[in-house]
A = this chain, B = another copy of it.
Amino acid sequence: MATKNAYCDCLETIKPVRDALDVISGKWKLPIIISVGVGNARFTDIQDSIPGITPKVLAKELKELEQHKLVKRIITDGYPVRISYKLEVYADTLTPIIYSLKDWGVNHRKKIIQKE
């Protein structure tokens, strides 16, 4: 009985975790969400706030985040047309994930430094 349950619980957890990973995994998506969430709204500001990201990658990732309804692109008409990025309300649902990853990362770094 315990054997069967093990297999079941396993898939019940793996499936939604994989759904989540499909949307937010990768090197850049969460860093971009964090940066935009904290107030960086302009392309170059976001770029400057994330060490190592190139404009090509940033443009591509922003498009994907738009498609997933996590970020919105706002065009403000004017003599220079201004473009800014904001988080959709839906992106707030990622907060628990971001904080659990942050806490784990802080702790993991401590563990690594201790050992080596």
A residues neighboring B (CB under 8 Å): 2-3, 6-7, 9-11, 13-21, 23, 25-27, 30-31, 34-35, 38-40, 49-51, 90, 93-94, 96-98, 100-109, 111
Contacts and interface: CB of A to CB of B under 8 A. Distances in A.
A18 B31 contact: yes
Given A16-B109, A31-B14, A49 B7 contact: yes
Given A20-B102, A25-B25, A93-B107, 14 more contacts: A6-B38, A14-B31, A14-B35, A16-B101, A17-B31, A17-B102, A18-B31, A20-B101, A20-B105, A21-B30, A21-B101, A23-B108, A94-B104, A96-B100
Nearest to A23: B108
A15 B49 CA distance: 11
A18 to B, nearest CB: 6
A14 B108 CA distance: 14
